């Protein structure tokens, strides 16, 4: 319809991404945050000349990465949100009216709301589960009636993501419901800690998880990868976090890895992190 073509890559190697952009005159790109992190780390500042839209999804885009990317390449990254059960797009930022840290507005024809554990709609600014309704939502999981009933209860697709909406309807993902850490009865959202870690000058990648703790129930553990040639100074990083986070959110341990485990698309796999200890 638009006389456009699609280029699909088998790899997220920055060199091959840049070569494909130049060879096929690519103007629009869709990728997960780690792809943009790799480009930020290795690509020349002129590598994306001619690009007009860069879309990010699949995981939260750290604000520091977004800011550094715009500073280097002169083009912003537009963040969106979706999941396979919604075919997959649910929301996206308007290209010329984005909000930092937001996944934007629900796409036309799709309804969203934020609900509490009883399924009641919450007011603007309140954190709850993001649920979705629309013709893009799946009929169900194949041959899994119990899982289907759980995911589609009340006629809405329950995403398992904690979020809130502002007065204009923009959606802000707080974290995955299953990733939330509860320590001494306090809710801790890993993404908040990860955002601060990404703002630390020598940190390249960060992921925060909850680990069992006999006294608190759970405690915070951070996994990081450093920029090339840098070594983690755990004391300095904790001091940096203390100036920006409440004391109970400071990781009990900070573990440095060469790189964080990822799937084929480059999304960080938190479920594999405890095995790295």
Residue listed under structure tokens 């983690």 = 232
In a domain, 67, yes or no: yes
In a domain, 142, yes or no: yes
CA atoms within 13 A on the CB side of 110: 23
In a domain, 90, yes or no: no
Q: What pLDDT score was predicted for residue 72?
A: 97
**Cβ atoms of residues 145 and 131 within 8 Å:** no
The answer on 198 and 149 residing in a single domain is no
Among 176, 197, 222, identify where a domain stops: 176
Among 126, 158, 176, identify where a domain stops: 176
pLDDT digits (tens, 9 = 90+) for 75-84: 999 999 999 9
Q: What is the DSSP string of the chain?
A: ---------S---HHHHHHHHHHTT--EEEE-HHHHHHHHHHS-TTTTTT--EEEE-SS---HHHHHHHHHHHS---EEEEE-GGGSSEEEE--TTS--TT--BEEPTT-EEEEE-TTSPBPPTT--EEEEEESTTS-S--TT-HHHHHHHTGGGSEEEEEEEEE-TT--EEEEEEGGG-EEETTEEE-HHHHHHHHHTSTTEEEEEEEEEEETTTEEEEEEEEEEPTT----HHHHHHHHHTTS-GGGS-SEEEE-SS--B-TT--B-GGGSGGG-
The answer on 45 and 111 residing in a single domain is no
Q: In angstroms, rounded to a whole number, what is the distance separating the alpha carbons of residues 268 and 58?
A: 10
The answer on 129 and 157 residing in a single domain is yes
pLDDT < 50 positions in the chain: none
In a domain, 92, yes or no: no
The answer on 184 and 169 residing in a single domain is no
Q: What pLDDT score was predicted for residue 275?
A: 57
When divided into structural domains, the chain yields a total of 3
CATH code of the domain containing 41: 3.40.50.12820
Q: What pLDDT score was predicted for residue 164?
A: 98
Q: What pLDDT score was predicted for residue 88?
A: 94
Q: What pLDDT score was predicted for residue 264?
A: 82
The answer on 186 and 161 residing in a single domain is no
In a domain, 138, yes or no: yes
In a domain, 85, yes or no: no
The answer on 56 and 137 residing in a single domain is no
Q: What pLDDT score was predicted for residue 13?
A: 87
The answer on 202 and 169 residing in a single domain is no
The answer on 229 and 194 residing in a single domain is yes
Q: In angstroms, rounded to a whole number, what is the distance separating the alpha carbons of residues 20 and 35?
A: 14
- What is the maximum span of the chain, computed from C-alpha positions, in angstroms? 61
Measuring CA to CA, how many Å separate 185 from each of 80, 85, 188? 32, 32, 9
Residue partners of 110: CB distance under 8 A and separation at least 6: 86, 90, 91, 132, 133, 134, 136
Q: In angstroms, rounded to a whole number, what is the distance separating the alpha carbons of residues 121 and 150?
A: 18
Q: Which residues form the domain of 140?
A: 104-176
Q: What pLDDT score was predicted for residue 78?
A: 96
**Cβ atoms of residues 177 and 171 within 8 Å:** no
CATH code of the domain containing 265: 3.30.300.30
In a domain, 83, yes or no: no
CA atoms within 13 A on the CB side of 273: 25
The answer on 158 and 113 residing in a single domain is yes
The answer on 160 and 205 residing in a single domain is no
Among 114, 148, 176, identify where a domain stops: 176
In a domain, 4, yes or no: no
Q: What pLDDT score was predicted for residue 265?
A: 80
**Cβ atoms of residues 69 and 240 within 8 Å:** no
The answer on 190 and 165 residing in a single domain is no
The answer on 186 and 159 residing in a single domain is no
């Amino acid at each position: 319809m638009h006389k456009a073509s699609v280029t699909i890559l088998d790899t997220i190697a920055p060199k091959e991404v840049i070569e494909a952009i130049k060879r096929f005159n690519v103007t629009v790109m869709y990728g997960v945050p780690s792809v943009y992190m790799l480009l930020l780390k290795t690509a020349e500042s002129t590598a994306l000349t001619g690009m007009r839209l860069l879309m990010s999804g699949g995981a939260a885009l750290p604000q520091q990465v977004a800011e550094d990317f715009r500073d280097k390449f002169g083009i912003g990254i537009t963040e969106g949100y979706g999941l396979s059960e919604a075919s997959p797009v649910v929301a996206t930022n308007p290209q010329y009216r984005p909000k930092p840290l937001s996944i934007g507005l629900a796409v036309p024809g799709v309804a969203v709301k934020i609900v509490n554990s009883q399924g009641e709609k919450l007011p603007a600014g309140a954190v709850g589960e993001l649920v979705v309704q629309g013709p893009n939502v799946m009929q169900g999981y194949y041959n899994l009636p119990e899982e289907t009933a759980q995911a589609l209860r009340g006629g809405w697709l329950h995403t398992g993501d904690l979020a809130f909406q502002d007065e204009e309807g923009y959606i802000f993902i707080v974290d995955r419901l299953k990733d939330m850490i509860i320590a001494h009865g306090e809710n801790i959202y890993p993404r908040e800690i990860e955002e601060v870690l990404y703002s630390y000058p020598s940190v390249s990648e960060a992921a925060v998880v909850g680990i069992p703790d006999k006294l608190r129930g759970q405690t915070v553990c951070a996994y990081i990868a450093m920029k090339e040639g840098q070594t983690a100074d755990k004391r300095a990083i904790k001091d940096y976090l203390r100036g920006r986070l409440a004391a109970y959110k400071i990781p009990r341990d900070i573990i440095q890895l060469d790189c964080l485990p990822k799937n084929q698309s480059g999304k960080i796999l938190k479920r594999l992190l405890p095995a790295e200890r």
